């Protein structure tokens, strides 16, 4: 008779577990925070990122410096004003002059000598001259380089190349922060989904555990089955707590990325494009045109070429016009104007060696460019293949989802009919949560692979276009 009562008892257990799980799910706390789509999160990050602001400041600094040198080689006009005071002293030795006068007197006739002897004429041994005064003078001067051999053009070109390098660095930084945002935005979503699945599994198994306790008291199940239910519940609780901690940490990382002072709730779901994206050649061509690493190498090459041009300019003569005029009334002013030529005929520095060194820098930049193009092409191809593998991996997991759902259905029906045990149902539900989490992880792998591919092609800003094309979304 006990055997006949067992199915109804198990059915009561299953019903109690389902009701307990449903009640726990209904009262599960809903997360609160700032709801943002991916595009909104990206716009917020672009506005508030310190890393991007630093990169933009670097570009502006280089650009302002290049603008400052735009008129290099033009005339330079300056005004000079000098106020001065002086006190000049000059001591004269008159002893030799006095002796000379005495000798001259001896050459005079005796009558004149006697007359001079009666005069009290004698020069002092020394006399000090002193002059003092003050004044002011001012002038205006102008210098205009007429020919510099290309030196000024080289300086301007070098400054412009530095601006291009800073802009390439800023683009590289932009791609990096885009990649970081994708990792943290969808990573936080994956972590929250895993936490939800773990929490749901915990609530469901808690219902089983409570029902198992009642069934043990009723003598329907063995103590071993009761302990299995308790062990499964404790494991589910540990897994749920860990998943919750991981989700909270991922949420904090995302909030700091977008500079939010509260948790961020991602509203753009994980997604997959079921069909392959553009062929490999599309991304290879984009990388050759847009990758900031190639733009930086090109800027380095231009800097080397401008340095070489500057070295060559030093071999040529420098011609300039100059003029200066006192700032006085026209009839009193003095002025001077002319043309000057400066040409170094011999220098202790070996100009030929300097020119050869700058040409080697140009060659170095060319070799670096060739290597960078090869490396970037390889990186793009690797990321493109990784994206395709992620897409196929995700597609292959649907069969596992269907199987896990069917096993849960069969185990639930078996438990009602008495052909399955509590542990069988717990295992089936745990496995369903596991494969659902793995499927979400596969979707996140696809998303991250797509972000890496777009970054390596230099088109990270187009990520939102691929979101719009997605036909599979993990809500």
What pLDDT, on the 0 to 100 scale, is given for residue 282?
96
What pLDDT, on the 0 to 100 scale, is given for residue 111?
57
What pLDDT, on the 0 to 100 scale, is given for residue 97?
61
The CA angle 313-319-320, to the nearest 5 degrees, is 125
- CATH code 1.10.3210.10 for 2-27+34-75+147-474: no
What pLDDT, on the 0 to 100 scale, is given for residue 327?
84
Alpha carbon of 468 to those of 163, 231, 433, 463: distances in Å?
A: 35, 45, 28, 9
Name the 3-class secondary structure at 219.
coil
CA distance 84 to 69: 36
Backbone Cα Rg of the chain: 46
The residue ranges of every structural domain in the chain are 2-27+34-75+147-474
Q: Exposure pattern of 22-40 as b/e (b: 16+ CB <10 Å)?
A: eebeeeeeeeeeeebebee
What pLDDT, on the 0 to 100 scale, is given for residue 210?
86
CA distance 254 to 138: 66
What pLDDT, on the 0 to 100 scale, is given for residue 10?
39
Q: Which ranges constitute the DSSP H helices of 124-150?
A: none
Contact 132, 88 (CB under 8 A): yes
Task: Give mean pLDDT in consecutive 10-residue pieces for the chain, a chain of 475 residues.
Answer: 36 41 47 85 92 94 92 90 82 65 59 55 66 84 91 92 94 94 94 88 84 84 84 89 92 92 90 96 96 94 92 90 84 84 84 88 92 96 97 92 90 82 79 88 96 96 95 89
What pLDDT, on the 0 to 100 scale, is given for residue 416?
80
- Indicate the angle between helix axes 2-26 and 151-218, nearest 10 degrees: 150
Look up the pTM and report it. 0.76
Query: Please, which residues have CB within 8 angstroms of residue 341's CB and are 6 or more apart in sequence?
Result: 317, 318, 319
What pLDDT, on the 0 to 100 scale, is given for residue 411?
87
Name the 3-class secondary structure at 346.
coil
What pLDDT, on the 0 to 100 scale, is given for residue 9?
40
**Nearest to residue 415, comparing CAs of 235, 207, 264, 223?**
207
What pLDDT, on the 0 to 100 scale, is given for residue 125?
66
Q: In what order do the strands lie in the sheet with 126-147?
A: 76-93, 126-147, 318-326, 335-342
Q: Exposure pattern of 254-286 as b/e (b: 16+ CB <10 Å)?
A: bbebbebeebbbbebbbbbbeeebeebeebbeb
Residue with tokens 């709801």: 35
Query: Please, which residues have CB within 8 angstroms of residue 197's CB and are 6 or more apart in sequence?
Result: 243, 433, 436, 437
């Amino acid at each position: 008779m006990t055997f006949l009562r067992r199915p109804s008892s198990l059915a009561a257990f299953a019903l109690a577990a389902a009701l307990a799980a449903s009640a726990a799910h209904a009262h599960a706390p809903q997360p609160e925070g700032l709801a943002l789509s991916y595009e909104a999160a990206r716009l917020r990050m672009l506005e508030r990122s310190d890393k991007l602001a630093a990169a933009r400041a670097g570009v502006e600094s280089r650009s302002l410096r290049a603008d400052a040198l735009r008129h290099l080689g033009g005339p330079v006009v300056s005004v000079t004003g000098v106020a001065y005071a002086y006190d000049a002293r000059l001591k004269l030795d008159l002893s030799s002059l006095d002796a000379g006068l005495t000798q001259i007197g001896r050459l005079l006739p005796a009558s004149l000598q006697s007359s001079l002897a009666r005069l009290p004429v004698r020069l002092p041994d020394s006399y000090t001259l002193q002059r003092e005064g003050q004044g002011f003078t001012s002038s205006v001067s102008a210098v205009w380089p007429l020919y510099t051999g290309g030196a000024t053009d080289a300086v301007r070109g070098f400054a412009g190349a530095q601006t291009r390098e800073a802009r390439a660095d800023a683009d590289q930084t932009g791609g990096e922060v885009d990649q970081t945002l994708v990792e943290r935005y969808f990573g936080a979503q994956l972590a929250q989904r895993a936490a939800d699945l773990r929490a749901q599994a915990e609530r469901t198994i808690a219902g089983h555990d409570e029902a198992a306790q009642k069934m043990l008291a009723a003598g329907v199940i063995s103590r071993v089955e009761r302990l299995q239910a308790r062990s499964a519940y404790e494991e589910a609780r540990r897994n749920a707590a860990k998943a919750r901690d991981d989700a909270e940490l991922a949420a904090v990382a995302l909030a700091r990325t977008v500079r939010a002072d509260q948790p961020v709730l991602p509203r753009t779901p994980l997604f997959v494009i079921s069909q392959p994206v553009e062929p490999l050649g599309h991304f290879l061509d984009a990388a050759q045109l847009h990758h900031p690493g190639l733009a930086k190498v090109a800027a380095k090459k231009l800097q080397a070429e401008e340095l070489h041009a500057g070295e060559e300019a030093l071999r040529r003569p420098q011609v300039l016009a100059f003029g200066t005029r006192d700032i006085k009334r026209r009839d009193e002013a003095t002025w001077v104007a002319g043309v000057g030529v400066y040409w170094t005929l011999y220098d202790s520095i070996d100009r030929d060696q300097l020119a050869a060194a700058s040409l080697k820098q140009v060659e170095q930049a060319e070799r670096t460019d060739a290597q960078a193009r090869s490396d970037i092409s390889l990186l793009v191809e690797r990321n493109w293949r990784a994206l395709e593998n992620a897409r196929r991996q995700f597609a292959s997991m649907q069969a596992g989802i269907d199987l896990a759902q069917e096993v849960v259905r069969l185990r639930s029906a078996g438990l009602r009919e008495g052909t399955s045990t509590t542990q069988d149902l717990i295992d089936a539900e745990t496995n369903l949560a596991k494969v659902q989490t793995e499927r979400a992880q596969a979707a996140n792998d696809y998303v991250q692979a797509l972000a890496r591919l777009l970054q390596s092609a230099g088109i990270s800003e187009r990520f939102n276009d691929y979101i719009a094309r997605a036909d599979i979304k993990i809500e």
